[in-house]
Amino acid sequence: MNFNGNLALLGPKALESWLAERGHPRFRARQLLRWIWKEGVLDPDAMSNLSKDFRHLLKTDARIVLPKILHAQESEDGTIKYLLQLEDGKTVETVWIPREDQGRVTVCVSTQVGCKMGCTFCLTAQQRVERDLEAGEIAGQLLALPNRKKITNVVLMGMGEPFDNYDNVMGALDLMTDGEALFLGTRRITVSTSGLVPAMRRFLSESKCRLAVSLNAPNDEIRNLIMPINKAYPLADLLGALREVKDKRFLVTFEYILIRDVNDRPEHARELVKLVKGIPCKMNLLLYNENPQIPFKRPEWERVDAFQKILNDSGMLSFIRTSRGRDISAACGQLASEHKRRDNSFKPPRLSPTLLEGVAAGE
Ligand code: SF4
């Protein structure tokens, strides 16, 4: 962890350690946690139950700074995409996704500035990997939003691969679930991975939060083309780790982005059914969100229907997730890319020749 004096970067355990090193008991950390994360109070002078000396320490030896909103774009469907600025000026995206019909507000948070996983359909992958977010910068995206008390669900599915920043993600989950902090139920938080298998195994043994796996292909050949992580951890390793889970309540969510002529054919659906057989799961089918920077296309509706029918006929639980916020380019990385383009620091992506051949050949 790169602590620089900003106490809002720290998870609960790190905050306790910082105070213990200065001779303060654990209950002080709990009080401070409550002021910052439950009450949203950042000024030590307004923390009325803290002693004068303790408030003086907070003002002289530390500071409390949250991410702040730099830009917001609201979609016709109520989705709001925020560009948040961190204390060092770096920016990340956070998306507010209301479902009034279901009484839910889900917020999608980022875990890194940029991402090194290199998924070829993703704009975030094209941005330089700048740094990991600290625990408080991940959870702080929730605190920075207006109407934060309406948040019912959180997905760690924004910019970055959560398990490439494991310790900070676990600290952020502590902040989100701690009764003195944001106090969300573990079953309302989903961590999504592209398939970093060793860290995923660790997560499965250490956390009660939900897991989503970004699958996106029915075989290694296609997955190698669109998700380079698959070369390090092929499908047999990834799915093998899920098959080992003994907990009877375990249910993994697979995300499958349907991309025209890449992974959306009936034979791909049949292969997918066989691939995940025996794993308690639900399959979220997402339609690729086109953007001018990447030459992939959304599939035709007929293909999507046919694909889902094959899954449903096999008895699999599958859902077609309609894209929220399409009119504001709410796919991962798009707002940050636009911001960088205005800054002239964005480099348009180049797809590898192998991938383009694969797409052209309809592999
Ligand atoms: S899809 Fe996720 S893991 Fe893949 S490059 Fe984009 S942010 Fe990273």
For residue 358, the model assigns a pLDDT of 30
Per residue in 78-93, pLDDT tens?
999 999 999 999 999 9
What is residue 37's DSSP assignment?
Answer: I
CATH class in words for 68-360: alpha beta
Instruction: Please tell me the distance from the alpha carbon of residue 154 to that of residue 141, in angstroms, as a whole number.
Output: 11
Q: Whose CA is nearest to atom 6 of ligand 1?
A: 122
Give the active site residue among 16, 93, 137, 161. Answer: 93
State whether the beta carbon of 160 lies less than 6 angstroms from ligand 1: yes
**Sheet arrangement for strand 252-258:** 68-74, 80-85, 91-99, 104-109, 153-156, 189-193, 210-214, 252-258, 281-287, 317-321
The amino acid sitting at 224 is N
CA of 126 to the centre of ligand 1 (A): 10
CA of 31 to the centre of ligand 1 (A): 37
Do the beta carbons of residue 287 and residue 323 sit within 8 Å? yes
Question: What is the dotted CATH code of the domain comprising 7-61?
Answer: 1.10.150.530
The CA–CA distances, whole Å, from 157 to 58, 162, 163 equal: 33, 8, 11
For residue 123, the model assigns a pLDDT of 87
For residue 119, the model assigns a pLDDT of 95
Token pair in block for residue 185? 């139920």
Total Cβ atoms within 10 A of residue 120: 24
Name the segment(s) of the chain with CATH classification 1.10.150.530. 7-61
> Does the structure show a pLDDT above 90 at 70?
yes
- Tell which residue, 218, 303, 206, 201, has the closest CA to residue 254: 218
> Does the structure show a pLDDT above 70 at 359?
no
Instruction: Please tell me the distance from the alpha carbon of residue 193 to that of residue 119, in angstroms, as a whole number.
Output: 12
Burial track 277-290 (b if 16+ CB lie within 10 A, e otherwise): eebebebbbbbbbb
State whether the beta carbon of 141 lies less than 6 angstroms from ligand 1: no
What are φ and ψ of residue 73, in 5° steps?
-130, 125
CA of 304 to the centre of ligand 1 (A): 23
Pocket test for ligand 1, best of 194, 196, 288 (most atoms within 8 A of CB): 194
> Does the structure show a pLDDT above 90 at 344?
no
For residue 330, the model assigns a pLDDT of 52
State whether the beta carbon of 125 lies less than 6 angstroms from ligand 1: yes
Pocket test for ligand 1, best of 161, 227, 255, 288 (most atoms within 8 A of CB): 161
Residue 188 CA, distance from chain mean position: 13
Three-class SS state of 156:
strand
The CA–CA distances, whole Å, from 176 to 68, 79, 218, 241, 301 equal: 18, 22, 34, 26, 38
Instruction: Please tell me the distance from the alpha carbon of residue 83 to that of residue 96, in angstroms, as a whole number.
Output: 11
Task: Tell me the torsion sign for CA atoms 255, 258, 263, 267.
Answer: positive
* Cβ-based neighbours of 142, under 8 Å, separated by 6 or more: 107, 109, 148, 151, 154, 176, 182
Name the segment(s) of the chain with CATH classification 3.20.20.70. 68-360
Token pair in block for residue 299? 């599939």
CA of 107 to the centre of ligand 1 (A): 17
Task: Tell me the torsion sign for CA atoms 15, 187, 179, 80.
Answer: positive
Per residue in 204-239, pLDDT tens?
999 999 999 999 999 999 999 999 999 999 999 999
> Does the structure show a pLDDT above 60 at 174?
yes
H helices present in the chain, as ranges: 12-21, 26-33, 52-61, 135-143, 166-177, 197-206, 220-226, 229-232, 235-243, 266-275, 301-313, 334-343, 353-360
User: Beta strand pairing status for 153-156 and 189-193?
Assistant: parallel
161 counts as catalytic: no
Single pTM value for the model: 0.90
290 counts as catalytic: no
279 versus 125: which is more confidently predicted?
A: 279
Average of per-residue pLDDT values in the chain: 89
Instruction: Please tell me the distance from the alpha carbon of residue 291 to that of residue 285, in angstroms, as a whole number.
Output: 19
CA of 123 to the centre of ligand 1 (A): 8
State whether the beta carbon of 337 lies less than 6 angstroms from ligand 1: no
Per residue in 230-283, pLDDT tens?
999 999 999 999 999 998 889 999 999 999 999 999 999 999 999 999 999 999
